[in-house]
Amino acid sequence: MYICLAVNMGRFLILSWLDNPWLTLPLQVLQGFALATVWASATSYISLIAPAHIKSSAQYILQLLYHGVGKGIGSIVGGAVISVLG
């Protein structure tokens, strides 16, 4: 999981330095690899640590945090940062 997070960090740094929008397309290949690996790692970890009677609830909470809360807060905070810093 840490390797994929490092790949994402490197990808975001490279994306911030690019001037040509077409150069972002090759970097999106890394996004697919990183997302799939992080998601597989996270669900496997949840499956290992959650007690048997709440495994499905733990998977649901992971899904909720990633797709609901994480993206919602990320868009609000990202918008605020962009409006302040330009």
Residue 2 has pLDDT above 90, yes or no: no
- Give the model's pLDDT for residue 33: 84
* pLDDT tens sequence across 15-60: 889 888 898 888 888 888 888 888 899 999 999 999 999 999 999 9
Distance CA 55, CA 43 (A): 10
Q: By the 8 A CB rule, do 61 and 69 touch?
A: no
Whether the pTM exceeds 0.75: the reply is no
Residue 81 has pLDDT above 90, yes or no: yes
